[in-house]
Structure 1
């Protein structure tokens, strides 16, 4: 005798699969939301939000500490929170992070001698691309220009075309 179920077997299988997929996704979302942070003033809240979006996670690939779920990013967020709550200005917090992790922690590094290549490279690549494009266009113009033949060369060409 078969056991009585409310759902057919296929539906029960789909429900189990859906639960198996949605449960981890829901847990990941709950973890990603993170813990709420409370500040005394709205200005501190804005400063904190700005800083966590401007500081880079040093162990992640191009993620801010706001976006990253790495343990180091959580520590950096906690440190920014504590320093902001203690009344430190944004510049002092950024200077602390730069002193601790180097200029890489800034999502937009300052223009210095050691970062000049980073800032100039997009413009240099654009100039090189424009130069290559210009050379290609000039080469095409030369190829499309027909050479001018003398009368004698035209007659010889006509004879070759006719097969004489």
Structure 2
């Protein structure tokens, strides 16, 4: 029974290890391989969103890596490959989107946020401090205050003694 269980587990482990494949690409020159590695890190996986196509295991990322490889083998330049990917998947596919009307907030937003925050900070620090005017009590108000304070003092003394 133990041998049967061992053989079964061994067979299942062999099946599962075969399913994980490693992509191997052959290049004509070291420059092509270098450009492939560079593009793999510069292009974002549209499905994963936070991974580049070199690090992603998604099926779409595998397809994009294969397309980059095919285009490199056809002699396409880096700009042509990036332009193809942008035309197909939009500016989102690059980590460094171009400055256009739709991406303007991405480029100007952080600087605008810092400038507005600094301006608010400066305006608040320069605001004159409002000082409370010292009010004086007339004789009637002063006498009433003294009576209230004396009454409170008497109550406190009674509580302490009793």
TM-score under structure 2 length normalisation: 0.65
| Match in the other structure for 1:119 | 107
Q: Deviations over 1:1-29 (max 9, x none)?
A: xxxxxxxxxxxxxxxxxxxxxx8xxx6xx
Q: Deviations over 1:102-122 (max 9, x none)?
A: 222111110012211221111
| Match in the other structure for 2:56 | 68
* Higher Rg: 2
Unpaired runs of 5+ in structure 2? 1-12, 151-162
User: Whole-Å Cα distance in 2 between the matches of residues 70 and 107 of structure 1?
Assistant: 18
Unpaired runs of 5+ in structure 1? 1-22
Moved over 4 A (4+): 159-162
Q: 1:39 to 1:160 in 2, by over 3 A?
A: farther
TM-score under structure 1 length normalisation: 0.64
Residue 49 (structure 1) shift:
0.7
| Match in the other structure for 2:134 | 149
Q: Deviations over 1:115-156 (max 9, x none)?
A: 1122111112212322343354456x62xx644537x56x98
| Match in the other structure for 2:44 | 56
Superposition CA RMSD, Å? 3.2
